Amino acid sequence: MIEIPTSWSWSTIGELTQYIQRGKSPKYVEHSELPVINQKCIRWNQLQLEHLKFIHPEQFAAWDEARYIEPGDILWNSTGTGTVGRAYLVTEKDCVPPKVVDSHVTIVRPAPGLDARYLYNWIKGPVVQSKIEEMCDGTTNQIELSRTAIAATRIPLAPVAEQTRIADQLDKLLARVRACNDRLDAIPALLKRFRQAVLAAATSGKLTDSDDLGATSGETTIGSIAVDLRYGTSKKCGYTSTGTGVLRIPNIADHGRIDIGDLKRAEFDSKEIEKLALREGDLLVIRSNGSVELVGKTSLVSTTEAGLLFAGYLMRLRVDQSRALPAFIQLCLSAPAQRSHIERTAKSTSGVNNLNAEELRALLLRLPSLAEQAEIVRRVDAFFKLADRIEARYKAACAQAQRLTPLLLAKAFRGELVPQDPDNHLANMLPECINALNTP
């Protein structure tokens, strides 16, 4: 149990609220004048109204006035693994038009004398959220947070004035945390645009400001520089300790890399190994996938992967290295213009998108001299390493930002977020006052 200031006391949600009630299961229509809030609507900082459903007009009378949400209500998801425990604090604008909740959501309505924001932040905090599954009854995927469990949930109760000071300070600080997270959320898209811009510049000649890009070979095709292009094995592979490793679609990582962390194996005869064994400098191209964004994705084989085989949804492209550097061809296949062409070619309405060998052979590219290719590859690698460093710092910043909210909430409910006021009345008198207010 956390330590709290001497002017605070421990109470329960049931002692501090005037209404705790699960919603009903209504009969729905496509649209009516009475929206009903379900679990999907409830996020920590907003109601996602696109998920609203609507009650059939013939049932309107079954919802009495107390069941309509009010400003200051806390809507608490009460069923389902992954959704149970998530809550939302109702504002005035949420009540226009009037709304009710379904049977998977509980309305928790604070009594006068309890700041709704204070209660909401306690529910949101690490003490309660870390114990949600313990508080629930039922089996996996069918767990339920009962009214009894909610009412019995303990809460450290600060004097009324201090509740307000704590809630006000949390409003300010958590708004800053959200703004920080919003800025961090924008970084992946910026990095993607940066990498795409680098690839576009690399394959157009702008990256090296060369006036003779393509002057050596001019425009050519993948087929003209390919010395081998073939599909992989269709043999079933598994997680065994014997046999030869086989690279699959999950091994084709971002930015031209290969990830062998999830490697399956199978037994092959010597002829199959000779035919399908990878060499350093080979290119692996995804030829078929349900996601068109993955079709044509290309990775470059390094010494680490040499000797491995490859699966049937991949193609191995081996290029004539007297004319083309494999790393440069990988950049060309990843550039925005080429990606756009590949996706148009591969896109299918059948649910499986395909790029066959002849379509890959027909892809156009401009081929500068080997020296120019090497310089382009070097510069792209330098820019991508810069992007990787930024991405690593972004991930570290995200991890720190994710810890801020629970740290702030924990600090708030230890009485450490705002100064203590000795003139505040003792909080242990508050439940009695609330009971008096609620007694007819």
Domains in the chain with CATH codes? 9-159+425-438 (3.90.220.20), 217-367 (3.90.220.20)
pTM over 0.75: yes
Give the pLDDT confidence score for residue 351 in this predicted structure. Answer: 86
Alpha helices in 205-306 (DSSP H): 222-225, 270-276
* Residue 270 DSSP label: H
Give the pLDDT confidence score for residue 389 in this predicted structure. Answer: 96
Report the run of H or E that residue 14 belongs to, with start and end. Answer: helix 13-16
Q: Which of 216, 161, 178, 185 is nearest to 424 (CA)?
A: 161
Contacts of 245-249 spanning 24+ positions with Cβ under 8 A: 245/308, 245/309, 246/308, 246/309, 246/310, 246/311, 247/278, 247/284, 247/305, 247/308, 247/309, 247/310, 247/311, 247/314, 248/310, 248/311, 248/313, 248/314, 249/286, 249/289, 249/294, 249/311, 249/313, 249/314
- At residue 344, φ and ψ (nearest 5 deg) are -65, -40
Separation CA 90–CA 41 (nearest Å): 12
C-beta of residue 11 within 8 angstroms of C-beta of residue 424: no
DSSP E strands in 226-263: the ranges are 226-231, 244-247
Separation CA 115–CA 225 (nearest Å): 72
C-beta of residue 90 within 8 angstroms of C-beta of residue 126: no
Give the pLDDT confidence score for residue 421 in this predicted structure. Answer: 74
pLDDT truncated to tens, each residue of the chain (440 aa)? 789 998 899 999 999 999 999 998 889 999 999 999 999 999 998 999 999 999 999 989 888 889 999 999 999 999 988 889 999 999 999 999 999 999 999 999 999 889 999 999 999 999 999 999 889 987 656 789 999 999 999 999 999 999 999 999 999 999 999 999 999 999 999 999 999 999 999 998 888 875 554 454 578 999 999 999 999 999 999 999 899 999 999 999 998 999 999 999 999 999 999 999 999 999 999 999 999 999 999 999 999 999 999 999 999 999 999 999 999 999 999 999 999 999 999 998 888 999 999 999 999 999 999 999 999 999 999 999 999 999 999 999 999 999 999 999 999 999 999 887 766 665 565 555 555 545 55
Give the pLDDT confidence score for residue 213 in this predicted structure. Answer: 47
Give the pair of three-digit tokens for residue 260.
């062998």
Peptide bond into 97 cis (omega under 30): yes
